[in-house]
Chains A and B, each alone.
Chain A
Amino acid sequence: MSERQSSPHERLLTYLREGDRLVPPDTRSAHDWDLRYGALAAAADLGGATEPPEPTDLSPASWYDDGHEAGLGRSVVNR
């Protein structure tokens, strides 16, 4: 498909689908998951001991503030 002839919607979906192909199927068993949970718990112990979690803003305003002014270029969306 010619990129020049496709819409922004289709171009980004095409890009995302290429990424989807890089995700291997999740074949983990219950045991694997228990091990994974244990590893995450240990990592959380370590992380919690060294750095406090940063506060997370779940407000809609925070989502709309997409970070472009903070160094990722200027957002084009009308405010």
Chain B
Amino acid sequence: MRQLSGGGSDSAESPRRLSKEREAELMEALRTVEPRLIASVTRVTHDYHLAQDITQEVCIAIFQEFRKGTRFEKPVLVFATVVARNKLRDHWRKSSSGERPYDEPPEHGRRFGPDPAAGLEYLELLESVKAAIADERQAAVWELTHVWGLKGTEIAELLEISSATVSRQLAAAEAKAKFWREDEDLEPA
């Protein structure tokens, strides 16, 4: 289910020109989103260049939504975070299947990530946090807070819960993730 409201026409011909007001809104959104996203994606991937690539794609997606006349029902940063996570997953999926993650000319030959295992390490660590929390909403609040750096109000918008619930769920999640006993972390035989 798509959760954006298209304010413009759905024709294939997207409006290219934005009003001054919309352009100012877009610039402000990008100015806010870009540094936060680069920081978050670098934090996850340990690869600043990959983070720049993913963030650029997300910024382009934001541009295109503005040009289509989309009115965001949730904060633009929430949209950007969801798109970034999807792109990151896609990148890892392609990497693990041996595809070139991006349409980068082969002669560039850049490998994404100084440590290709970083994505796997992150996913394993995240899974261990989720296993300790054992509740999908609490785990989502934990991830959105600590990995993606979203504020309580932004998380509330994304998960469609109150800010008070976000606070409670985060406290519960942290309590479980912090006090997970080592012997519980072992793989079942």
Contact = CB atoms under 8 A, between A and B. Distances in A.
Given A12-B125, A37-B30, A47-B60, A7 B3 contact: no
Interface residues of B, number: 75
Interface residues of A, number: 50
Nearest to A36: B34
B2 interface: yes
Contacts of B34: 36
B135 A19 contact: no
Contact of A56 (B45, B63, B79): B79
Interface of B: 1-4, 12, 14, 16, 27, 30-31, 34-35, 38-39, 42-48, 51, 56, 59-61, 63-65, 67-68, 73-74, 78-79, 82-83, 86, 89, 92-93, 96-97, 121-123, 125-137, 139-140, 144, 146-147, 158-161, 174, 177-180, 182, 185
Interface of A: 4-5, 7-13, 15-16, 18-20, 22-24, 26, 33, 36-37, 40-41, 43-45, 47-48, 52-53, 55-64, 67, 70-73, 75-79
